[in-house]
Amino acid sequence: QVQLVESGGGLVEPGGSLTLSCAASGFTNLYAMSWYRQAPAKERELVAQISTDGTSSYYITSVKGRFTGSRDNAKNTVYLQMVSLKPEDTAVYYCALGVPPMLWGQGTQVTVSS
């Protein structure tokens, strides 16, 4: 069964750091991967995209310079390193397989609060 499982979310203070992981299983082909986030009462938004080999990436303006996406294909895992976190980064974060997304993980909660 094809699955994506996120982990690494939690509660951090403003200015703190957090790294999210997304472990994939059940398939062998490589796909571009994306990170999305959704806050309560807001639309789900694209945060970052990572190419199949991890050499090309895209970030929305609000996170550029603070978030870094990467992947380790040997471990079938995608990462999102987040630094200098702000309260407005609070959301459920999802990884997604393919562009446009064809499969979603279950999400992991990130809360930035003092």
Neighbours of 112 (CB within 10 A): 19
| pLDDT greater than 90 at residue 27 | no
Model confidence band, residue 99 (pLDDT cutoffs 50, 70, 90): confident
pLDDT at 67: 98
Write the CB contacts of 48 (distance below 8 Å, at least 6 apart in sequence). 34, 35, 57, 58, 59, 60, 63, 67, 69, 80
Question: Could you report the per-residue pLDDT of 35-77, keeping only the tens digit for each?
Answer: 999 999 999 999 999 999 999 899 999 999 999 999 999 999 9
Alpha-carbon span 86 to 20, nearest angstrom: 16
What is the rounded average pLDDT of the residues 87-109? 96
Of the chain, the percentage scoring pLDDT greater than 70 comes to 100
CA angle 93, 95, 101 (to 5 degrees): 125
| pLDDT greater than 80 at residue 28 | no
